[in-house]
Amino acid sequence: MKAYEKSKLNTVKRGANRATYDVEKINNILDAGFIGYVSYTYQGKAIAIPMAYGRRDNTIILHGSNANRMLTSLLAVKEMSMTVMHLDALVMARSGFHHSVNYRSVTLFGTAKKIEETTDKNTALLCFMEHIMKGRWDGIREMSQQEFDRTLVVEMTIEKASAKIRDVGVADEPEDYELDVWAGLIPIKQIAEYPIADKGKPENMEIPEHILDYYEQNKK
Amino acid sequence: MKAYEKSKLNTVKRGANRATYDVEKINNILDAGFIGYVSYTYQGKAIAIPMAYGRRDNTIILHGSNANRMLTSLLAVKEMSMTVMHLDALVMARSGFHHSVNYRSVTLFGTAKKIEETTDKNTALLCFMEHIMKGRWDGIREMSQQEFDRTLVVEMTIEKASAKIRDVGVADEPEDYELDVWAGLIPIKQIAEYPIADKGKPENMEIPEHILDYYEQNKK
C-alpha cells in the first residue's frame, strides 16, 4: 500500500493543499517522534492524552498499567485515533492574518486490540523501545514476570490516516510586501541535551553508544 | 481561586502523586507553550487536533476559519477539552519497566463560546498573539474588515483542570542499583533557532526587538 484511502473521516478540508495520504510520508512523521495524542471519550467527553508510542509497519504500539483508564476505554470501544505533530517554525507575516506555523502532523484512525500472548507481547515491547531508542533493549535488566503481567500492551492497526505539512516561507498579500514590517521564520526544534548519568555506578561508566548516538542525532 | 475543584472527570488516577490542581502551576505550564491538542467528537469518534492557543486569565483563545470543522463542532456541543504537554527528558532506567519521561502536562475541561462583538474579538486576537510573542501585534499591518469577518474566534472558559508533572531522576527497583547498566536522563528541550528574514525588505531591516527577545528566551 502506498497511500491511505480517503474517506469523510480522514479527508483534510482546511488547507487541503497541505495534505497527504502517502504511507511513506506519514511513517516518516511518525518515526520522527514518539509522543502521540490519543483521543478517547470519557463520560461523553472527548479527551486527548499524550502517550509514548512505537511504530511497527502499519501499527502503533502503546502500553501502560493494566488499570490505565484510557487504554481500557480504547479496548472497550475497539476504535481509536492518534495525532502526532512536530512544530518546525513560527511564520511571522506582515499581517496578523497570515501569521502561521510550519509543522508536520499526522492523524491516524484505526482499531485497538490487546496483545496478550507472551512472545507477541515481548516483541511489541521491544519494538516500542527500539522506536524510541535503538539499542536500548539489549543492555537492560530483563522484565520480571510480575512487571510483564502488570503491563498492558495495546496495538492500533492504522486504517485511515492523513498528514498535513506546512514547510514554506511567509505568504503575505501581494500589496503587503512593500510595508516596512519585518517578516520571516523563526525555526523551532526539539533537541536533546547531553546525557546526565544517574548517581552511583553510571557516574563511573562510559556512556553507552546507543545513548550517545541518540544525543548526536538529536542535539542542536 | 487557587486550585481547580476535583471531580471524577479531572481527578488523576494513575500517578496521582504527580498530579496538581493548582491554578498558578497550571497557568505556568500553559504559558510555557502555545500548541494544545483540542479534542472533539466527529461521527462518534474522538479526534485530537493541534491548535495554537493563547491564555487570558482562566480562558483559552483559539481561532480559525469560519468553516473550521473542529471549531464549529465545539461551538455546537459547547463543551471542550484541551491538553498541553512539554517533554523535558527521557528517563533511562536499569529495567524496561522503569523507563519513563519527564514532562509537564495539563488537561483542561470547559465551555466554548464564539466571540463576535468587534471590540471583544479584536482584544481576544491581540491576547492570542501576545501569548505567543509579546510585542508582535503593534508593528504589523492592521486586519482588514474581510480578514476580520473570515476569522472565527472561540473562547474556552476553563472549568476543571489538572496538571501532571514528572521532574525527578531515575527510580529503579532497590536491587537493580547494583547492576552494570547505564541509567540517567537525556534532557529534551524545544528551542528556537536564529530568525530568518523573508526575501525583500526584511533582508535589509534590523530584526525587531520582540523577535530577538523571543529568540533569546528560547534558544538553546
* pLDDT tens for each residue of B65-91: 999 989 999 999 899 999 999 999 999
User: To probe the interface with B, which of A92, A196, A210, A218 has the most B CB atoms within 10 Å?
Assistant: A92
The number of folded domains in chain A is 2
At residue A18, the pLDDT reads 87
Helices (H) and strands (E) in chain B, counts: 6, 10
Chain A residue numbers with beta carbons less than 8 Å from the beta carbon of B83 are 37, 47-50
CA angle at A160 for the pair A156 and A161, rounded to the nearest 5°:
95
Chain A residue numbers with beta carbons less than 8 Å from the beta carbon of B138 are none
DSSP H/E element including B71: helix B69-77
Range of the structural domain that residue A20 is part of: 16-189
* Closest by Cβ to B48, choosing from A14, A48, A101: A48
At residue A8, the pLDDT reads 82
At residue B44, the pLDDT reads 81
CATH number at residue A31: 2.30.110.10
- Within a domain: residue A148? yes
pTM, rounded to two decimals: 0.95
* pLDDT tens for each residue of A35-59: 999 998 887 888 999 999 999 999 9
At residue A14, the pLDDT reads 73
At residue A159, the pLDDT reads 96
- Within a domain: residue A1? no
User: To probe the interface with B, which of A38, A97, A128 has the most B CB atoms within 10 Å?
Assistant: A97
* pLDDT tens for each residue of A141-187: 999 999 999 999 999 999 999 999 999 999 999 999 999 999 999 99
At residue A15, the pLDDT reads 75
DSSP H/E element including B45: strand B45-52
Chain B residue numbers with beta carbons less than 8 Å from the beta carbon of A35 are 85, 87, 101
Q: Look at the alpha carbons of B92, B161, B55, A184 in this order and tell me if their dihedral is positive or negative.
A: positive
> What is the Cα–Cα distance from A127 to A52, expressed in whole angstroms?
12
- Within a domain: residue A99? yes
CA angle at A50 for the pair A45 and A56, rounded to the nearest 5°:
115
- Percent residues over pLDDT 70 in chain B: 100
CA angle at A72 for the pair A70 and A76, rounded to the nearest 5°:
115
Q: Are residues B164 and B58 in the same domain?
A: yes
- Within a domain: residue B8? no
pLDDT above 90: residue A214:
yes
Q: Are residues B167 and B195 in the same domain?
A: no
Tell me what ipTM this predicted complex has: 0.94
* pLDDT tens for each residue of B178-219: 999 999 999 999 999 999 999 999 999 999 999 999 999 999
Q: Are residues A121 and A26 in the same domain?
A: yes
- Within a domain: residue A2? no
- Within a domain: residue A185? yes
Q: Are residues A195 and A154 in the same domain?
A: no
> What is the Cα–Cα distance from A105 to B105, expressed in whole angstroms?
20
- Within a domain: residue B11? no
Q: Are residues A104 and A68 in the same domain?
A: yes
* pLDDT tens for each residue of A2-47: 899 888 888 887 777 888 999 999 999 999 999 999 998 887 888 9
Using the structure block, give the residue that is written with the C-alpha cell 518546525: A88
Using the structure block, give the residue that is written with the C-alpha cell 486569565: B57
Q: Are residues A134 and A199 in the same domain?
A: no
Q: Are residues A29 and A45 in the same domain?
A: yes
- Within a domain: residue B130? yes
Q: Are residues B118 and B213 in the same domain?
A: no
Q: Are residues A60 and A156 in the same domain?
A: yes
In sequence order, the β-bridge partners of residue B22 are B3
* pLDDT tens for each residue of B140-180: 999 999 999 999 999 999 999 999 999 999 999 999 999 99
At residue A210, the pLDDT reads 97
At residue B7, the pLDDT reads 85
C-alpha distances in Å from residue B100, one per residue of B152, B172, B185: 39, 11, 10
Q: Are residues A182 and A211 in the same domain?
A: no
Mean pLDDT of chain A: 95
At residue B9, the pLDDT reads 81
Are B154 and B74 a contacting pair, CB within 8 Å?
yes
Residue type, B141: R
Are A195 and B184 a contacting pair, CB within 8 Å?
yes
Q: Are residues B23 and B85 in the same domain?
A: yes
The secondary structure of chain B, three-state, reads: CCECCCCCCCCCCCCHHHEECEHHHHHHHHHCCCEEEEEEEECCEEEEEEEECEEECCEEEEEEECCCHHHHHHHHHCEEEEEEEEEEEEEECCEHHHCEEEEEEEEEEEEEEECCCHHHHHHHHHHHHHHHCCCHHHHCECCCHHHHHHEEEEEEEEEEEEEEEECCCCCCCHHHHHCCCCCEEEEEEEEECCCEECCCHHHHCCCCHHHHHHHHHHCC
Q: Are residues A170 and A94 in the same domain?
A: yes
